[in-house]
Amino acid sequence: MAKTQDFTAMMKDMMGAFPMDTKAMEDAFKSSAALNEKLAAVAIGAAEQSAEISTKWTKDTLSKMGAMSKVQAEPADYAKAATDFASASAEVAAENMAAFAEVAKKAQTDTVELLMAAGKDMSEEATAAVKKATEEVTTAAKKAATK
Please report the pLDDT score of residue 126 as a whole number.
74
**How far, in Å, are 13, 27, 125, 126 from residue 23 at the CA level?**
22, 6, 12, 13
pTM for this prediction: 0.65
Mean pLDDT over residues 1-21, rounded?
73
What is the tens place of the pLDDT at every residue in 103-116?
Answer: 999 999 999 999 99
| Within a domain: 18 | no
| Within a domain: 64 | yes
Please report the pLDDT score of residue 141 as a whole number.
75
Identify the CA nearest to 57 among candidates 101, 7, 97, 8: 97
Please report the pLDDT score of residue 89 as a whole number.
93
Does 1 have pLDDT greater than 60?
no
Please report the pLDDT score of residue 118 as a whole number.
86
Does 78 have pLDDT greater than 70?
yes
Lowest mean pLDDT among 23-27, 43-47, 55-59, 93-97: 23-27
Mean pLDDT over residues 39-50, rounded?
96
Please report the pLDDT score of residue 147 as a whole number.
64
Provide φ and ψ at 123, rounded to 5°.
-65, -45
Contacts of 42 (CB under 8 A, 6+ apart): 107, 110, 111, 114
| Within a domain: 62 | yes
| Within a domain: 24 | no
Burial (0-12, 13-18, 19+ Cβ within 10 Å), 118: middle
User: If you ran DSSP here, which 8-state letter would residue 18 be given?
Assistant: S
| Within a domain: 20 | no
Mean pLDDT over residues 131-138, rounded?
80
Domain with 110, as residue range(s), is 42-141
| Within a domain: 96 | yes
What gap in Å lies between CA 147 and CA 133, rounded to an integer?
Answer: 21
Please report the pLDDT score of residue 108 as a whole number.
96
| Within a domain: 9 | no
Domain tally, the chain: 1
**How far, in Å, are 54, 84, 100 from residue 97 at the CA level?**
10, 20, 5
Q: What is the CA radius of gyration of the chain?
A: 33
